[in-house]
Structure 1
Amino acid sequence: MKKKSKISMPSKYILMIISLLCIIMIFISFRTNISTGSLRTVSGYIYVPVQKGINRIGTFFSDKADDLNKLRDVMKKNEKLQAQVDKLSIENSNLQQDKFELDRLRKLYKLDQKYTSYKKIGARVIGKDTGNWFSVFMIDKGSDDGIKKDMNVMAGSGLVGIIIDVGPNWAKVRSIIDDASELSAMTLETSDRCFVEGGLMDMNEKQMVKFTDLKDPDNQVSSGAEVVTSNISVKFLPGITIGYITEIKIGSNNLTKSGYITPVVDFEHLEEVLVITDLKEKGGK
């Protein structure tokens, strides 16, 4: 079957026909004396709907243009506000960091004032061994700054550890929680001596270090007692706070006690330390 051909007419011919009809209507109106009211009626049917359509289209595009301009203004204001928010966020973050650093430095100052008889130098932590704990770590002061092996290190509220290696502008610290650490200690109130042993397993499980061989003949030591470095410890200067007894158990011989101490230093977060530049004369624990 043949397809029916569609009749199409160019738009310019349609416009010419409409224009011709309008001219004919005007001519007829003059020839037949059509009243002005009738002509208005006819034009109303043709012109008014067209004018309304044009007005609606014009209003639509005008509203869209206004909305677009408003959107652009809002986007520009939003960019400015976002830039201000970013700036304020950075400033707030810097202020928080300054606050935390100030708090840490205040604690170091308080610690420095607690042990005024010892000479000290401040240092920053610049590296550590793997793991969560600062068991062995590096500081940014070395032999050029007067740092020597076996110098004691403090932070927070007490003892951190001891210098075990030194370079020109760095030093390595072994903390009291390290597996290789052991030191002589005593209870502050009764001066009963014991040994404090480091252990990362105990830190992981209990956040505490172990003490052993505590001789307490009068049974005066109880939970909460403060433990400090002993006056017979040769590497560690006397009287530096280690921590507080948390758990106690009596040995099988009923002569000694052992248990656990909660350190006064946060060994999970260390950033600044104090190195005591005074040294004991002889080696030992």
Structure 2
Amino acid sequence: MKRKNQFSTSNKYWLLILAIICIVLMGLSGFAESGKGPLSWAAGYTIVPMQKGINRVGMWIGDVSENFATLQEIKKENKELKSRLEEMTTENNRLQQNSATLERYKELYKMDQNTADYPKVAANVIASENSNWFSKFTIDKGSNDGIREDMNVLSGTGLVGIVTEVGPNWATVSSIIDDKNVSAMILTTFDKCIVSGDLQTVQDGLLKFEQLANNENEVAVGEQVVTSNISSKYLQGLLVGYISEVNVDSNNLTRSGYIIPATDFKELQEVLVITTTKQDLIDGKGESGSDNGGE
């Protein structure tokens, strides 16, 4: 108990000393402000620098506080700008996708107009057996939509292939790059040839053609190659591609070379299925205003 009283007495002394020091400092400050007497001179060397230091510390603390508030505001604005940028990037990607889709639909519409003699159904590609090339793929239309085997399939730019299997709401399409015997002809001369699909040559973006007669008819690079009237499964006049190279064979009787396919077999997304088969035309069941009856 005695020890506690000693501590209490000691604290009182310290408070008294501090109070006296404060009073003295206040007095010295007053003398410093009045500018009179020796105490004023002493205060000028002690209190004034101390006040200046305190003021500077206060100003520094104020600046730090203000800078901190500004930094927090900048961080907030930066976060909002990042969020806005992400939204704009997403919107830009969506617009680009919509633009690409619109272009594909325009191509499909143009192809539909160019082959208006044939009835068609539009479909979406939903699966592919090859991750790099659409040599065989599945579409989202089937027998419920009037799809049957041997129906020809088009992209927005040319012939894709033929339906080989059908379910109620799906169908499998085998493309011409998976077909070794597509009967075709040069559009300007009507000379016949055989187009062979090959995954090896298609890696270079090409299809091979052969058995083209080596006659007086000139075949130039860029000539269109279309399906011929004697094809057993493809309707006449469907664009296969464009001549990129022509060579005379060693027998000097035929020519062969390469074709750039009209369809991009790496980027198929939407297709048109012609709902008339070649056999329908042969049997007189197909609807066509062209001279395909001789196919």
Q: Normalising TM by the smaller chain, what interval? A: 0.7 to 0.9
Match of 2:177, SS state, is coil
Alignment of 1:136-175 (within 5 A): 136-175=136-175
Relative to 1, partners in 2 of residues 1:192 and 1:22: Cα closer, same or farther, differing over 3 Å? Answer: closer
Residues matched between the structures, number: 267
Give 1:101's aligned residue. Answer: 101
Relative to 1, partners in 2 of residues 1:279 and 1:42: Cα closer, same or farther, differing over 3 Å? Answer: same
Q: Is the 8 A contact 1:229 1:237 kept in 2?
A: yes
Q: Which amino acid aligns with 1:253?
A: N
Aligned-pair CA distance for 1:220: 2.4
Give 2:198's aligned residue. Answer: 199
Per mean C-alpha deviation after superposition, the further-off stretch among 74-83 and 119-128 is 74-83
Q: Is the 8 A contact 2:130 2:136 kept in 1?
A: no
Per mean C-alpha deviation after superposition, the further-off stretch among 36-45 and 273-282 is 36-45
Q: Is the 8 A contact 1:228 1:243 kept in 2?
A: yes
Alignment of 1:230-241 (within 5 A): 230-241=228-239
Give 2:272's aligned residue. Answer: 274
Q: Distance in 2 between matches of 1:50 and 1:221?
A: 101
Match of 1:149, SS state, is coil
Q: Is the 8 A contact 1:248 1:260 kept in 2?
A: yes
- Deviation per CA, 1:138-197: give whole Å up to 9, x if none: 11111111111111011132101111111111111111112x442111111111111111
- Deviation per CA, 1:100-137: give whole Å up to 9, x if none: 00011001111111111011111111111224211111
Per mean C-alpha deviation after superposition, the further-off stretch among 252-261 and 230-239 is 252-261
Aligned-pair CA distance for 1:43: 2.1
Give 2:127's aligned residue. Answer: 127
Aligned-pair CA distance for 1:252: 2.5
Give 1:249's aligned residue. Answer: 247
Q: Which runs of 4+ in 1 moved over 6 A?
A: 10-15, 21-26, 282-285
- Deviation per CA, 1:212-236: give whole Å up to 9, x if none: 1112432422332211001011210
Aligned-pair CA distance for 1:50: 1.6
Q: Distance in 2 between matches of 1:143 and 1:53?
A: 91
Aligned-pair CA distance for 1:16: 5.6
Q: Is the 8 A contact 1:234 1:283 kept in 2?
A: no
Q: Distance in 2 between matches of 1:111 and 1:71?
A: 59
Give 2:218's aligned residue. Answer: 220
Give 2:73's aligned residue. Answer: 73
Match of 1:177, SS state, is helix
Q: Distance in 2 between matches of 1:123 and 1:130?
A: 19
Q: Is the 8 A contact 1:122 1:272 kept in 2?
A: yes
RMSD over equivalenced CA pairs, Å: 2.8
TM-score, normalized by length of structure 2?
0.82
Structure 1 unmatched runs, 5+: 1-9, 27-34
What fraction of aligned residue pairs are identical, expressed as a percent? 47
Relative to 1, partners in 2 of residues 1:218 and 1:18: Cα closer, same or farther, differing over 3 Å? Answer: same
Q: Which amino acid aligns with 2:184?
A: A
Give 1:48's aligned residue. Answer: 48
- Deviation per CA, 1:42-99: give whole Å up to 9, x if none: 2222211221121111111111111111111112222222222221111111111100
Q: Is the 8 A contact 1:235 1:283 kept in 2?
A: no
Alignment of 1:80-119 (within 5 A): 80-119=80-119
Q: Distance in 1 between matches of 2:72 and 2:24?
A: 51
Give 2:5's aligned residue. Answer: none
Relative to 1, partners in 2 of residues 1:23 and 1:277: Cα closer, same or farther, differing over 3 Å? Answer: closer
- Deviation per CA, 1:26-49: give whole Å up to 9, x if none: 9xxxxxxxx942121122222112
